[in-house]
Structure 1
Amino acid sequence: MEGLRERTRQAMRAELAEIALRMFLERGFEETTVDDIAREAGMSKRTFFRYFPSKEDVVFGDADDLGEQVAQEIRARPPGEDPWESLRVVLGRWEGRIDACAQELANLRLIESTPSLKARMQHKRDGLRRRIAEAVRDRPGAELDAFTAELLTGAAGAALDTVAREWMRSGGTADRAALLDRAFTLLAPAAKP
């Protein structure tokens, strides 16, 4: 159970992220400084850095924690379950939160149009995929080599990325769950690894 201090910290992080994202969308990411965000939030720049290590991290929230939760769920899948099916089930459940920083169309467009954010997103995705590939290999009865685990995880990541781009192209109206199902069906391995 979370203590009061942690709940207060999470609430402050959420409020700070909301202020920063609004400013990024109004002014542009590069044009908005940490000083601007801190001033708008009524805090010092030093206090801002207690909540986020960098301006870019405001956009991506708790992506690292999310990655660990996804990896734990994959490890907990039934022994002997096909690895692709494990990825499909778990990522299907988490799809709406995988890109928590980009849940809103405007945020995804901000990331796609800002080179430093796009680079940070790629870095975050690489770390997430590494953790998930390890989880796929660590599952009881998986018996996968690193190459196969990384390949399957990379294909699953490509499916998520393509779903996000199609959702963005649709103006946020496409059914993400249906798109993800379609992507996993199209990419399904022909033979078990």
Structure 2
Amino acid sequence: MSLWSRTRNTVYREITATAMALFLERGFDATTIDDIAAAAGISRRSFFRYFGTKEDVVLGDLIASGDLVRQALEARPDDEEVWAALRNALHSVKDTAFDEPTMLKIFTMVHETPSLRARSIEKHLQWQALLTPEVRRRLGADPADPLDVRADALVATVITCLDVAGDAWTRCNGAVPLETLFDAAAAAVRSTP
């Protein structure tokens, strides 16, 4: 990685850390871009060199996480059942940037803030685009057949199970592990006649 890229990544992480501290202290809606820029020691214009919106500060790494899930899915054995491969890929990718209490605060903020919730759903659609080709391959689906919706349906269902588990995790204040809630949601979908 070049010096420029390393410097850019360092500044990106510093702005993100500063903004997240403000969001968790004041609330998402009560924190402005000007507040973030001032606390980070940058101009408003510099903020927009790194982030398109305030929501991107909170959810910017979600796409990167989707790419990690895709890589983990591609690394799963070809003979592994598709649901199991998706589950195992998701469970193998954990956010290590924050401790669990901080993650719970972030999840709560996302689930309670309409603009963050909407942006989160938009990012999950990008996850679907990342994961569907590998699921199509595993199902032996013709990539040129627009009527074979199996892979799209499976990936959309798994992402919905993840969202449902996240909602439940915030409601129970983290008392039950997120992975357990995801497994319960996925099992319910798979076992319902």
Percentage identity across paired residues of the two chains: 36
Question: Which AA in structure 1 matches 2:78?
Answer: P
Distance 1:120 1:77 in 2: 29
Q: Which residue of 1 aligns with 2:37?
A: 38
Q: Which residue of 1 aligns with 2:130?
A: 131
Q: For each residue in 1:94-150, what CA deviation from the matched residue of structure 2 results, as whole angstroms up to 9, or x when unmatched?
A: 2x339x8x96222122112221111111101111122212221134xx313641111
Q: Does 1:155 align with 2:152?
A: no
Distance 1:137 1:189, change over 3 A: farther
Q: Does 1:104 align with 2:103?
A: yes
- Where structure 1 has 5 or more consecutive residues not aligned to the other structure, the ranges are none
Distance 1:177 1:31, change over 3 A: closer
Distance 1:84 1:144 in 2: 16
Distance 1:168 1:56 in 2: 19
- Where structure 2 has 5 or more consecutive residues not aligned to the other structure, the ranges are 143-147
What SS does structure 2 have at the residue aligned with 1:156?
Answer: helix
Q: Does 1:82 align with 2:81?
A: yes
Does the 8 A contact of 2:111 with 2:167 survive in 1? no
Distance 1:154 1:127 in 2: 11
Q: Does 1:165 align with 2:167?
A: yes
In terms of mean alpha carbon deviation, does 22-31 or 54-63 score higher?
Answer: 22-31
Pairs within 5 Å for 1:174-193: 174-188=176-190
Of structures 1 and 2, the one with the larger relative CO (CA 8 A, separation 6+) is 1
Give the counterpart of 2:141 among 120, 136, 144.
Answer: 144
Q: Which residue of 2 aligns with 1:57?
A: 56
Q: TM-score, normalised by structure 1?
A: 0.82
Q: Does 1:12 align with 2:8?
A: no
- The alignment covers a number of residue pairs equal to 185
Question: Which AA in structure 2 matches 1:156?
Answer: V
Q: TM-score, normalised by structure 2?
A: 0.82
